[in-house]
Amino acid sequence: MSFAFLIGRIVVGAYYLYNGANHFLKFSQLAAYAKSKGVSAPEIAVAGSGLLLLLAGVTILLGFEPRIGVAALVLFFVPVTFLMHNFWAVAAEQKMMETIQFSKNLALLGSALMFLKIPRPWPLSWDRKKK
């Protein structure tokens, strides 16, 4: 069971690391998209959200202080989901894609919150704290 959890942690952590890195690799495009959605200071928002995703990816991947990673994901998903994927306020041709992104983000937020119920230290992790 520990091995399966480790594999899952690697997959989830890598997912967030990849998405965080993309915030910097595709910085101009994401900043333009954020600006089109009415985000004030889109460059700061993209950099900040990229850092949150990278932090979450590292903490989940290593199992080190995973609650910090969950907090980063909550700070990322709540505003991004409701501001960037507001399917209720977009044109008909965008509605399906934004609905999918909104739903995906809610599911990822829920799965991140479930990490809080996993006893620490996580199996095969760098976190030495016992709760």
Task: Give pLDDT tens digits for 30-87.
Answer: 999 999 999 999 999 999 999 999 999 999 999 999 999 999 999 999 999 999 999 9
Contact by Cβ (8 Å): 127, 120: yes
Tens digits of residue pLDDT in 6-34: 999 999 999 999 999 999 999 999 999 99
Closest CA to 59 of 50, 41, 47, 71: 71
What is the dihedral sign for C-alpha 62, 63, 64, 69? Answer: positive
Q: The whole model's pTM is what?
A: 0.93
What token pair was written down for 117?
């119920």
CA–CA–CA angle 110, 45, 86 (5° rounding): 55
| Angle, alpha carbons 70-105-33 (nearest 5°) | 110
